[in-house]
Chains A and B, each alone.
Chain A
Amino acid sequence: MRAPQPAPRTQDATAACRNERIDGARWLVRALVAEGVDTLFGYPGGAIMPFYDALHGAALRHVLVRHEQGAAFAANGYARASGRVGVCVATSGPGASNLVTGIADAMLDSVPMVVITGQVATPLMGTDAFQELDVFGMTMPIVKHSFIARRVEELPRIVGEAFRIARSGRPGPVLIDLPKDVQVAGAAQLPPHRPLPVDAVPRPAEASLHEALALISQAQRPLLYGGGGIVLGDALRDFRTFVDATQIPAVLTLKGLGALPSAHPLNLGMLGMHGSRAANMAVQECDVLIVVGARFDDRATGKLAEFAPRARVVHMDLDACEIGKLRHADAGVRGDIRRTLTALTLPCAAHLHARHGAARRHWRALCQQRAREHAARYDAPGERVYAPALLKRLSELAPDAIVACDVGQHQMWVAQHCAFDDPRKHLTSGALGAMGFGLPAAIGAQLQDPNAKVICVSGDGSFLMNVQELATLRRYGLPVKIVLLDNQALGMVRQWQELFFERRYSEIDLSDNPDFGALARAFGVHALQVERADGVEAALRALLDAPGPAVLHVAIDTAANVWPLVPPNHNNAQMLDADDVASLPPAAQAGTTETTPTDAKETSHALPA
């Protein structure tokens, strides 16, 4: 099969349009180029056809996905990995509604996107026309902002504002609903598009910096709690400098992973429901919690009222809404995180060897000792593949890879066992937890950097939610490597049913999964398989050495669980491990339990941290 080539990108869009009639759609294509857009992801249809006509021969690369949700997630992955605005396009009605989950994901994880939807012509709007849907109304709670362009003259303002809003402050998705008659309306009178500058990031107030410094300098057991706001604020280097200068231990959220290299001696790992013991214990015992670009998400805090019970809180965030939203901030520093960290680094470091120096050293040593004592173990008995060990090895073999994952147990194993040195290399649907995210996000990540090594880690449930995008991989010859961890179940739901629903396994059995190898091959994608632990090394090497896209199907134990686990409505000190499963209530009586091969007690992979 010969893959279609992207449109030539060296063409001068202005020259190309000089001799053709300029309509709204063609003006928009030029405006996208002016905004720096090089790639957009989409799927054509009736109400967006003029825009697709304008794309023909334009200096933009359009990636044709096989479902609009794939377009939204691909643009999302492109934006997460690159830091640039991701753009996706769909037609009205079902095309637009299929984008919704990807837009919501971008909103909840603060991903800059511009979403363009076709709309029926303005005279037909409000008449229940064919494929008319109020996508503007439907997406209102899940966008940073949205526009309906009812007149072609509005396009310059709307497009400029859309990109400015998407990029400024806390990023997010902006939707432009584009009626068909606006796309075809004459636009020769419109000025060339000029991108608007992003909003200035507010400087932290001096008084708030003094308050933060006062609290931090009094701390005997200080702890940093870093989140996704660090990389969004372009403060990675500043955060690391702060850690190194102050020698304060750090815990990270799911989206903060990579803000400190995994091997950094002060990195205690991820906190929260599936966080490390060292991280969660440190949070529960610290006396000052320095929150940097994080938001007290319930998966991170566990029972909020018992989270960091002994700590006074210093909260640094660009978004004022997050400060004090869920936990009172004893010192709130609103504004540019880079400037905040830079301003605090030297004064805070000065206290390192002075006030409470001995207490801080003892605290640091205790945190590090716990990190060593509770480090993950990979010496699982048995012949079957132990997913955490496989992922750890994958990470060692491809240390610079961008890893996109789906949602479920494998997502948590990736967070726990893969090493990241940059949050932009860990693409995960954090707040929304959207299954089906992984494969299209990996496609977007690969397209933003053709030289990047991109790996998608998926599960058998998630993978089938957007499996059609294998066709996109194949079409564009993208060398994304897919590790498909197949436990023949909806593993995380199964785990919760085992632990909290008395082992009444309800609708989690996927033992009738398709032959994933054959499925991949049907799309023209190379497929490999591994079923035994002693085959993992060779299988991973073969996967990574494969010249194009490839899938490694990994059969894992259905009964494998993610440990540790903080049960719902418990505090983070109340972590469960595999050993605790034995104390759970017995399985429900026969007749009320769905019969599955999954209700055996986990034994082979019960490795307490």
Chain B
Amino acid sequence: MRYRLDLTLRHAEGALARVLGATERRGFRPLSVDGETQADGDRWHLRMTVEGERADHALQQQLAKLHDCLAVQVSPC
């Protein structure tokens, strides 16, 4: 299954690495990553496409636990 992830992150050191690391560790393979910072520079908006066989809600909950993750939505694509 492929999923689209829409994330809002703190623009903090390590935030991107944490998201990518947690995604792969939890069994999802990133296929595309795109993102930009907001004008004020303190937020990342990140869009990812991933694929994996595990439950998408589990990935959403794991990413939501990251301190730097302010919002995450996972939807099939």
Contacts and interface: CB of A to CB of B under 8 A. Distances in A.
Interface of A: 136-137, 140-141, 144-148, 150, 161, 165, 319-321, 324-325
B61 A136 contact: no
A140 B61 contact: no
Nearest to A136: B14
A141 B25 contact: yes
Contacts of B68: 145
Contacts of A145: 66-68
A165 B67 contact: yes
A137 B18 CA distance: 9
Contacts of A161: 67
Interface string B38-77: 0000000000000000010110011001111000000000
A65 B33 CA distance: 45
A324 B21 contact: no
A490 B74 CA distance: 46
A148 B12 CA distance: 10
B58 A325 contact: yes
Contacts of A319: 65
Closest 3 CB pairs of A and B: A145-B67, A321-B61, A320-B61
B13 interface: yes
A206 B62 CA distance: 24
Contacts of B65: 319, 321
A140 B62 contact: no
- Indicate the member of B21, B55, B61, B66 with the most A CB atoms within 10 Å: B61
Contacts, number: 31
Given A136-B13, A136-B14, A140-B17, A324 B58 contact: yes
A321 B58 contact: yes
Interface string B7-23: 00000011001100100
11 contacts: A136-B14, A140-B14, A140-B18, A141-B25, A144-B67, A147-B13, A319-B65, A320-B61, A321-B58, A321-B65, A324-B58
A358 to B, nearest CB: 39
B21 A140 contact: yes
A324 B25 CA distance: 18
Interface of B: 13-14, 17-18, 21, 25, 55, 57-58, 61-62, 65-68
Nearest to A322: B61
Nearest to A147: B13
B3 to A, nearest CB: 17
A107 to B, nearest CB: 12
Contacts of B55: 324
A141 B25 CA distance: 9
Contacts of A140: 14, 17-18, 21
A457 B25 CA distance: 34
B67 A148 contact: no
Contacts of B13: 136, 147-148, 150
A144 B14 CA distance: 13
Nearest to B63: A321
Given A137-B14, A145-B68, 10 more contacts: A136-B13, A136-B14, A137-B17, A141-B25, A144-B67, A146-B14, A148-B13, A321-B62, A324-B57, A324-B58
Contacts of A165: 67
A165 B57 CA distance: 23
Contacts of A148: 13-14
A141 B67 CA distance: 13
Contacts of A141: 21, 25
B39 to A, nearest CB: 22
A137 to B, nearest CB: 7
A321 B66 CA distance: 12
A286 to B, nearest CB: 25
A530 B20 CA distance: 54
